[in-house]
Structure 1
Amino acid sequence: MARTTPRTRLAAGALTVLALAGCSAIGADDGPDDATGDATGASDGTVTLVTHDSFALSDGILAQFEEETGLTVKQVAPGDGGALVNQLVLTKENPLGDLAYGIDTTFASRAIDEGVLLPYTSQAPAAVDAAQHAVPGDDEGLLTAVDFGDVCLNVDHAWFAERGVPEPVTLDDLTKPEYKDLLVVTNPATSSPGLSFLIATIAQKGEVQYQDYWAKLRANGVKVAEGWSDAYYTDFSGADGNGPRPIVLSYASSPPSTVPEGTDEPTTGALLETCMRQVEYAGVLAGAENVEGAQRLLDFLLSDAVQADIPGSMYMYPVSSAVDLPAEWERWAPLATDPAPIHPKDIEANRETWIAGWTDVVIG
């Protein structure tokens, strides 16, 4: 699945992206030959971060970690959150690196069940906050929450105001005639936000009725894009005013990015009754060559420096309660009060069946 989010346009140049063909050689001399987890030499050498392709931190953040530890951070980015976990599973006998970041709610149980991770309990102060977002049933501490956000529909305020059409509020509103041909979403088979939104509809409608709901959306002209960038920047009217559709699948944190220069209000808003909570986790990889370095990098992801940078660089909420959110987030990026509740184990057990059912109804 191609995972693109509001963060993707910020990711270029954030880290050196290594070709996957060369991954197996990365850091070959930086740790022990065995994969028992007792790394040596972690105070120098390389620690390899395996992440999704939207990972980005502001200039100088990772340099701070490198200066403090003597480690060089390298990144392998095999794709979106789904592709990331798939690659971790396929390469678990010869892992792509030392630390994985970006395993999200929809794939967390698979990463745990496939044995690609080592237990680690961070001692960073923010680890207490991270524990509030722990994967249910992860008793070993294989995954540590780093950030979170809500996948929600967004609307273009101006489009609706100019036409005198009330903005939709609920999922059911989207099936009404006045919203025909106005909605664009992303394919759950190719997009992590698309999968999250599919799960949100299943949580609200049930495992049988969700197909009926999507049949109504199809009859009402829903458009399906392969990835977030196409949906948001090509089809959505609220991104730059050129797209034809005023309702798009995005994040509750997207509206602050649409505040025009010289004003203090966004041109878009999130529909908070359509959301699913998405948590992103980090975990030390089983068989990592530099386990100690991976642990130190995970601790750093929970540091104030990184946590404070996450809203501006990755458009997600930090797990740490010790850092201040940007002022515009406090006003324009509220979290949903009742996001769709589905257990990660249920997602793991039914993911492919749900996607197949959606595909039959919407794509045909």
Structure 2
Amino acid sequence: MKRRTFVRTVGAGGVVGLAGCVGGNGGGDSGGGSNGDTATEADSDSTGTTTGTAASEPPELVVSTYGAFVDAPSTSPGPWLKETFESEFDATLDFATPDSEINYYIERALQGVDIDADVYVGLNVDMLIRIDERLDEGLFTPVDDVSGQGDVKEGLNFDPDGRIVPYDTSYVSIVYNETMGDDGDYVAPETFDALLEPEFEGDLLTQNPTGSSTGKSFLLHTVDAKGPDGYLDYWEELQANDVRVLSDWSTSYNAFLEEEAPMVVSYSTDQVYANREGQDLAKHRIRFLNDEGYAYPEGMSVFEGTDRPELARDFLEFMLRPDVQGEIAQRNVAFPATTTADLPEEFAEYAQAPPEAVTFTYDELRDNVSEWTQAWERQFASK
């Protein structure tokens, strides 16, 4: 049975539907160019619709990704990438957006069913750890000689085995509303320690790290700042200072917009979107605690066993081109992964990068992240 037996085209928009997809959300959040929330497993009993490709038609490249990459309410890179790629390559580019995201392909691999896509866009370190923990054999092929890969910023590569190439990154930071001070001059604290001061009691909204990528990034930043032996004590003090932990980014950010609190854990590209929407930038100030931001890169790779290996690599190289990197950054409201991206002055003016980026390596997260988040959950639930 060929891999493409399970692909069926839906509509004229270049998005394909995949058999076995079920309702659910992805492994991150819907802000800052990252994807949805907690993932669910694929339905192992679903079947697909068979289609064929006539010899006269151009080859089809199926790129799987999260839904917001293709059809976010504001802007999405997907439609522009499809149009531009097809104008330059003799190929048809179709996007697949399974509801359970990478879990869909993990389940297919566990069932011994062929993978029905060529490229995955939107991989993060949590997904990679999940893949390696659940599968004995790799889901993706090494892509360590892709043209343009040498331009990726130092520190963004998160796969020690060279299967994933970063294409953008976000930095998790504090966003605060300057107008909420007594005289319209609220100023967020500058350090993690200052966040514990009585004057900031009840001022911070964040997200549950067990189901939210922004919440997990903030938790990991506290682990980095206070150490594995001190971060729980720090969170105990945060709780005493009435931090509010909500379920996900959308819920907490909407509460921030409704001025339920003057600070929210979000992304340092917040002013890009706020400026685009004509919002008051005084309500979207950025604060890097300890002059740091937690880096959250996204990557792409080629599925093992694709029957379009050269075209798939062409797509990865296309994604790393300076002009394409610039477009992805603007449309996904995230920073480009490369140092050579073509960015307009407006983006550079409103997108703020931290003086220092913080992150943990793949090995550090693989060995510790479950323990860190579970310990946080036990302590937080006990209060």
Same fold (TM over 0.5): yes
What is the match of residue 142 of structure 2?
Answer: 119
Q: Single out whichever of 62-71 and 52-61 deviates more from structure 2.
A: 52-61
2:76 is aligned with 1:50:
no
- Size of the aligned set, in residue pairs, is 337
Identical aligned residues as a percent: 23
Unaligned runs of 5+ in 1: 12-18, 32-40
SS at match of 2:106: helix
- After superposition, residues 318-357 of structure 1 pair within 5 angstroms as 318-357=336-375
What is the match of residue 271 of structure 1?
Answer: 287
Taking a change above 3 Å as real, the CA distance of residues 164 and 121 of structure 1, as seen in their structure-2 partners, is: closer
SS at match of 1:132: coil
Q: Contact 2:58–2:90 at 8 Å: present in 1 too? A: yes
What is the match of residue 30 of structure 2?
Answer: 4
Within the candidate set 176, 179, 185, 2:200 is matched to 179
Read off the aligned partner of 2:284 and give its amino acid letter. Answer: T
SS at match of 1:339: strand
Read off the aligned partner of 2:154 and give its amino acid letter. Answer: Q
Give me the TM-score of the superposition, normalised by structure 1: 0.80
Within the candidate set 253, 257, 270, 1:254 is matched to 270
What is the match of residue 35 of structure 1?
Answer: none
Within the candidate set 159, 169, 186, 1:148 is matched to 169
CA displacement at 1:155 relative to structure 2:
0.9
2:181 is aligned with 1:160:
yes
Q: Contact 1:307–1:323 at 8 Å: present in 2 too? A: yes
- After superposition, residues 98-247 of structure 1 pair within 5 angstroms as 98-111=118-131, 114=135, 115-124=138-147, 126-130=148-152, 132-133=154-155, 135=157, 138-139=160-161, 141-160=162-181, 162=183, 165-233=186-254, 235-236=255-256, 239=257, 242-247=258-263
Q: Contact 2:32–2:334 at 8 Å: present in 1 too? A: no
Distance (whole Å) between structure 1 residues aligned to residue 270 and residue 317 of structure 2: 27
Give me the TM-score of the superposition, normalised by structure 2: 0.76
Taking a change above 3 Å as real, the CA distance of residues 53 and 185 of structure 1, as seen in their structure-2 partners, is: farther
Distance (whole Å) between structure 2 residues aligned to residue 314 and residue 227 of structure 1: 19
What is the match of residue 19 of structure 2?
Answer: none
Q: Contact 2:160–2:362 at 8 Å: present in 1 too? A: no
SS at match of 2:352: coil
Q: Contact 1:27–1:46 at 8 Å: present in 2 too? A: no
Deviations 1:195-240 (A, max 9, x none): 111111111111121111112222222222222111112x10xx3x
Taking a change above 3 Å as real, the CA distance of residues 152 and 131 of structure 1, as seen in their structure-2 partners, is: closer
Q: Contact 1:133–1:279 at 8 Å: present in 2 too? A: no
Taking a change above 3 Å as real, the CA distance of residues 216 and 27 of structure 1, as seen in their structure-2 partners, is: farther
Read off the aligned partner of 1:89 and give its amino acid letter. Answer: I
Q: Contact 1:57–1:314 at 8 Å: present in 2 too? A: yes
What is the match of residue 14 of structure 1?
Answer: none
Read off the aligned partner of 1:178 and give its amino acid letter. Answer: E
Deviations 1:231-270 (A, max 9, x none): 112x10xx3xx23111111111112322387799553222
Q: Contact 1:266–1:332 at 8 Å: present in 2 too? A: no
CA displacement at 1:118 relative to structure 2:
0.4
SS at match of 2:174: strand
Q: Contact 1:272–1:335 at 8 Å: present in 2 too? A: no
2:84 is aligned with 1:64:
yes
- After superposition, residues 14-53 of structure 1 pair within 5 angstroms as 25=48, 29=52, 44-53=58-67
Read off the aligned partner of 1:293 and give its amino acid letter. Answer: L
Distance (whole Å) between structure 2 residues aligned to residue 23 and residue 302 of structure 1: 36
CA displacement at 1:294 relative to structure 2:
2.1
Read off the aligned partner of 2:246 and give its amino acid letter. Answer: A
- Over the aligned positions, Cα root-mean-square deviation in angstroms equals 3.3
Taking a change above 3 Å as real, the CA distance of residues 136 and 243 of structure 1, as seen in their structure-2 partners, is: closer
Q: Contact 2:59–2:92 at 8 Å: present in 1 too? A: yes
Read off the aligned partner of 1:48 and give its amino acid letter. Answer: V
SS at match of 1:64: helix
Q: Contact 1:26–1:97 at 8 Å: present in 2 too? A: no
2:103 is aligned with 1:86:
yes
Read off the aligned partner of 1:64 and give its amino acid letter. Answer: T
Distance (whole Å) between structure 2 residues aligned to residue 210 and residue 323 of structure 1: 36
Q: Single out whichever of 113-122 and 269-278 deviates more from structure 2.
A: 113-122
Read off the aligned partner of 1:128 and give its amino acid letter. Answer: G
Q: Single out whichever of 115-124 and 246-255 deviates more from structure 2.
A: 115-124
Taking a change above 3 Å as real, the CA distance of residues 270 and 78 of structure 1, as seen in their structure-2 partners, is: farther
Distance (whole Å) between structure 2 residues aligned to residue 293 and residue 214 of structure 1: 48
